Structure 1
Amino acid sequence: MTGLRVVEICAGAGGQALGLQNAGFEHALAVELDPTAAETLRRNTNGVVVVGDVANPEVWRPADYAGVDLLAGGVPCPPFSIAGKQLGSSDERDLFAWAVEQVEVVRPRALMLENVRGLATNRFSGYRQRVLDRLTQLGYVADWRLLHAADFGVAQLRPRFVLVAMRPEDAAYFRWPEPVANHVSVGVVLRDLMAANGWKHVDDWVKLANGVGPTLVGGSKKHGGADLGPTRAKRAWEALGVDGKGVADSAPGADAPHPSERLPRLTIEMVARLQGWRAEDEWEFAGRKTSQYRQIGNAFPPPVAEAVGRVIRSALEHEGVPREILELGTDVHDPVYRALAGTEGFVSIERLIDALNEGSHASVERRLAVLAQDFEVEQQVTPTGTKYRLGHFKGFTGQDDHDRHEYMKRFRSRVS
C-alpha cells in the first residue's frame, strides 16, 4: 500500500472502491445512500462505511477529511442520462456540482468523478464549463475524458465520462491511462462460469459470444427487475448468445439445450464478471437477486477505476517526467458560457457570435436556450439589440433553501 487515502462518495456496491484499492488507495470513508449496497461495502472493505444522503451534514462532515489525497465518487447518473431526460441541474438527484463544491472544504490533492457519457454531450457543455472554471478558481487543473470499459479488459462497452482534477504541482505528472491492446469477448470471460455445471455445448456458445457486450443497465428502484436492459440492449445480447429477458439462478446444466435451441441467461456471478469483478476478488454482494443485479449494473467497472486510480497515484507520487499543465485543461467546452461568465454586465449578441466563432444569431440563441436549462439567463432589450447576462446556477451546491431537500424527504426511498 502507498499510504494514500481516499474518501468516496456515492460509493454504490464498491466497483470504484475495489479499483482504487487495487491501485493502492486506502479508504478513509465511503458514503452510500442505499443500505444494501452499503452492506456490500462493509462485507468487502476495511474502511469506514456510513449510510445516508451524502449531502446531509448529519451523515458526515467533509471538513473532517480535509487534506485527504483523493476525493472520488460516482454521483447519480439520471440527471445526465438520455433515459433520465437529461434534466441536468433541474433534476433534484444531481450531485455533481455539489461534489465539486466539496473540493473547497476538503482540499484533496486530487478529485475523480465519473458519470454517464450523456454528460459529454452538447446539452451539458455549459455545465462542464462551469465545473472546469470553478475548479480553476479553487486552484486545480481539471480535465475530462470519455473512457470505454472494453479498452481496459472488460467484456462490455460501458462508456464513462471521467473528471480528474489536481493541484498544478501534481497535475504536471498526470497522464490518462492507455487502453489495452486487445478487447476480450463475452464468451472468453464467461466460459468457466457458463461451464460450471458441465454444460456440454459451452464451447459452441463461446464461439457465438465472440464479441464485446453492450452496456449493462442496472436500472433504478422505480423501474424494472433483473434483466439486461431495454429492447435494443436485449437484441444486442441475443446476438451474443444471451437471453437478456432475465437473470438465472444458476449456469446451464449438463443436459441444457444447445444455444441454437435456447439461449442461456446470465447469473449474478456472470453479470459481476462482465462488469469487471474477478473470481479472485471474492466480492460478496448483499441483498436479493434484483438488488444485487442493480448494484452491479450501476457500478463503475473495477478495472477502469483501477486504471484511473493508478495514474492518479503516479501523479501524486511525481513519477515520470513533468509536462506543461496547460495541455490538461485548455479546451473550452462552451465559449458562449465563458463569454457570459467573464463579465458582470450584459453582453451583446454580436460579442457572443464572435465568441462562438463562425456562429450566427440563430446558433447563439440555440446555445442560450440550452444554457437556460441550467442557469438563469437575463435579457436586456436596447435600441441596438438584445443583450444577455448569466444569472444564478440552478443546480444544488449545498444551498439550505434548495428544492432538493424537500425532494429527499419525500422520495428518499425511491432514489438510487
Structure 2
Amino acid sequence: MQNLEVVEICAGAGGQALGLEKAGFKHRLAVELDANASATLRRNLPHAEVATGDVADSDVWNPMEHLGVPLLAGGVPCPPFSIAGKQLGANDERDLFAWAVELCEVIRPQALMLENVRGLSMPRFAGYRQHVLDRLGQMGYVAEWRLLHASEFGVPQLRPRFVLVALQDQYAPYFAWPKPLSTTPTVGEVLRDLMASRGWKGADDWARRANGIGPTIVGGSKKHGGADLGPTRAKRAWAELGVDAMGVADEPPAPGDVFKVGPKLTCEMVARIQGWQDTDEWIFEGRKTSRYRQIGNAFPPPVAEAIGTSIRRALRKTGKRHERDVNADQDPIYRVLRDSGEFMTHRQLEKAVGRALESYELERAISALSRDFTVEIRNGSSATAYRLGSFKGFVGQDDHLRHELFLKHRAKIS
C-alpha cells in the first residue's frame, strides 16, 4: 500500500515521527525548534525535509505549500497545560495548540493528530478544549479527545498522553481508537540485556527486582539543570525498581560494580523505556544531556504507531464504518455563554444549563474561562452578569504578545 504523507510540527527527536512511519506515513516535512533534535530528525529521516526554527514563523516554513496533505501531526509544547506548572494555557507564550488547530483552515489536511500532557484533560481547560472542538467543527472536521496510557501499548512506564484526532467528514466514520494490548513488559524485562552488556554480574537479580513499569520519564526543559529522571516522587518510585534516578549514566554497569540503590540508566536505556527498539536504529544527535531531553520529551513510538494505524485505516476507508458525532465536551457554562453572546446572570445560566449552579461552581468556572477568554463582568443592582468574549490564545495574530515573549525567552524554550 502506498504510503500517505504527513507534515509534522514540533517534531522533537522523532518519537511520533518513527511511530507514524511505522504506521504507513511518509514525512514530507518535519519542523522543530531545537537544533540538536532537528539534527536527529535529519539523521533518521533522510527522505524528509526538516525545517529548524519557530514553527509559527513564516520564514521557517510555508503551510500553503502543503495544501491537502493527508495528515498534519505534532506534539506542541506541554508546559502551558502541565500539572507541574502554572497551567497558563492561552496566556503562555509557548502555547501552540490552538494555533496548530487553525492550520487546518489553511492546509486542509485530511486528518489532524495532536498530543499533549494529561493536564489538558483537566476541568481547568474545559472551555479551551471546547473552543478547539468548535473551531474544528466549523472547518468541517469531526474531532475527539482521548486520554491514552503508554503502558497500554507495550511501553514500560506510566505515561498518560492526551490526544486529539480530527478527520474530515468523509473519513471520520472509519476511525476507531486503537485498543490496548493485553500485556506490558516490565522495566527489568526491557533493560536486562543492556544492564548485562558490559558483564555486570548483578543484572539478573536487578531485572527480577525491576518487575514493574516505571514512572513517567521526564525530559525537562532548558530552564532547569542536567538530566535526571524527574521529581522526588518519581525518584522514589525508580528507587523501588532498583534505579538511581539522580542522573543519567554514560555507560552500563561494569562487572564488579556495587550500588546502594541501583545503577543509573543510560540514554539508550531511557530510549528503550520510551518504546524505541534496537531494530529502529534511531541515532540521537548532541551531547548526553541534550540526547536525554530529546528522548525524555518524546511521544512513545508504539503509541504513535497505534494511533497512526487507526488514522491510516480511516483515510483508506478500510476500517469498520460507524457514525461519529463527538465535537462536544463537558463545559455547559462555556457552551451557554458562547451560544448566547449576551450578558447572563446566575439565574439565567441555571435556566439555560438546566440545573442548579452553586455559587462556588459558577465562580470557579468563570475564573477558569477568564484565563483563556475575555470575560466581561457587569455588576448590576440586583445580580452580576457575565458575557464571553474573544479567545486570548495565539492563533496566528501578527500583533499577539506571544511574539515578544517568545523572542525574550527563546533560549530557554525547549
TM value normalised by structure 1? 0.97
- Aligned twin of 1:378: 376
- Aligned twin of 2:341: 344
Write out per-residue CA displacement over residues 242-273 of structure 1, whole angstroms, 9 at most, x where no aligned residue: 0000111111111222x5x4511100100000
- Aligned twin of 2:364: 366
- Aligned twin of 2:284: 285
Whether the 8 Å contact between 2:242 and 2:261 is mirrored in structure 1 is no
| Partner Cα distance (1:109, 1:398) in 2 | 21
Whether the 8 Å contact between 1:251 and 1:267 is mirrored in structure 2 is yes
| Partner Cα distance (1:289, 1:356) in 2 | 56
SS in 1 for 2:29: strand
The 5-angstrom pairing of residues 223-372 of structure 1 reads: 223-257=224-258, 261-326=260-325, 328-329=326-327, 331-354=328-351, 355=353, 357-372=355-370
Write out per-residue CA displacement over residues 254-308 of structure 1, whole angstroms, 9 at most, x where no aligned residue: 1222x5x451110010000001110000110000000000000000000000000
SS in 2 for 1:180: coil
SS in 2 for 1:162: strand
- Are 2:400 and 1:402 equivalent residues in the alignment? yes
Write out per-residue CA displacement over residues 3-35 of structure 1, whole angstroms, 9 at most, x where no aligned residue: 311000000000000000000001110000001
Moved more, 239-248 or 354-363: 354-363
SS in 1 for 2:248: coil
Whether the 8 Å contact between 1:335 and 1:356 is mirrored in structure 2 is no
- Aligned twin of 2:185: 184
- Aligned twin of 2:15: 15
| Partner Cα distance (1:49, 1:74) in 2 | 16
| Partner Cα distance (1:373, 1:248) in 2 | 41
SS in 2 for 1:342: helix
- Aligned twin of 2:208: 207
| Partner Cα distance (1:246, 1:3) in 2 | 40
Moved more, 403-412 or 89-98: 403-412
| Gaps in structure 2 of 5+ consecutive residues | none
- Aligned twin of 2:111: 110
| Partner Cα distance (1:226, 1:170) in 2 | 42
Paired AA for residue 235 in structure 2: K
- Tell me how far 1:413 sits from its aligned partner: 1.5
- Tell me how far 1:381 sits from its aligned partner: 3.4
| Partner Cα distance (1:396, 1:262) in 2 | 46
Whether the 8 Å contact between 1:120 and 1:161 is mirrored in structure 2 is yes
Identity of aligned residues (%): 62
Whether the 8 Å contact between 1:98 and 1:398 is mirrored in structure 2 is yes
- Aligned twin of 1:44: 44
| Partner Cα distance (2:19, 2:141) in 1 | 24
Write out per-residue CA displacement over residues 318-342 of structure 1, whole angstroms, 9 at most, x where no aligned residue: 113211112x33x422111111111
Whether the 8 Å contact between 1:32 and 1:50 is mirrored in structure 2 is yes
Whether the 8 Å contact between 1:75 and 1:95 is mirrored in structure 2 is yes
Between the two proteins, the alignment pairs up a number of residues equal to 412
Moved more, 356-365 or 338-347: 356-365
| Partner Cα distance (2:394, 2:125) in 1 | 16
SS in 1 for 2:82: coil
Moved more, 335-344 or 293-302: 335-344
The 5-angstrom pairing of residues 163-174 of structure 1 reads: 163-174=164-175
| Partner Cα distance (2:236, 2:329) in 1 | 38
Whether the 8 Å contact between 2:37 and 2:285 is mirrored in structure 1 is yes
| Partner Cα distance (2:364, 2:243) in 1 | 43
SS in 1 for 2:249: coil
- Tell me how far 1:124 sits from its aligned partner: 0.5
Whether the 8 Å contact between 1:244 and 1:265 is mirrored in structure 2 is yes
- Tell me how far 1:383 sits from its aligned partner: 4.6
Paired AA for residue 143 in structure 1: E
SS in 2 for 1:365: helix
- Aligned twin of 1:92: 93
| Partner Cα distance (1:205, 1:353) in 2 | 59
- Tell me how far 1:183 sits from its aligned partner: 1.6
Paired AA for residue 334 in structure 1: D
| Partner Cα distance (2:355, 2:60) in 1 | 47
- Tell me how far 1:356 sits from its aligned partner: 6.8
Paired AA for residue 84 in structure 1: G
The 5-angstrom pairing of residues 73-92 of structure 1 reads: 73-92=74-93
Write out per-residue CA displacement over residues 155-214 of structure 1, whole angstroms, 9 at most, x where no aligned residue: 111100000000121110111000000121000000111110111121110111000000
| Partner Cα distance (1:29, 1:357) in 2 | 49
Write out per-residue CA displacement over residues 65-122 of structure 1, whole angstroms, 9 at most, x where no aligned residue: 0100000000000000022211111111100010011110000000000000000001
TM value normalised by structure 2? 0.97
Whether the 8 Å contact between 1:184 and 1:212 is mirrored in structure 2 is yes
SS in 1 for 2:337: helix
Whether the 8 Å contact between 1:67 and 1:108 is mirrored in structure 2 is yes
| Partner Cα distance (2:190, 2:299) in 1 | 18
Over the aligned positions, Cα root-mean-square deviation in angstroms equals 1.2
Whether the 8 Å contact between 1:9 and 1:75 is mirrored in structure 2 is yes
Moved more, 191-200 or 373-382: 373-382
- Tell me how far 1:151 sits from its aligned partner: 0.3
SS in 1 for 2:388: strand
SS in 2 for 1:177: coil
Paired AA for residue 393 in structure 2: G
- Aligned twin of 1:32: 32
- Tell me how far 1:346 sits from its aligned partner: 1.7
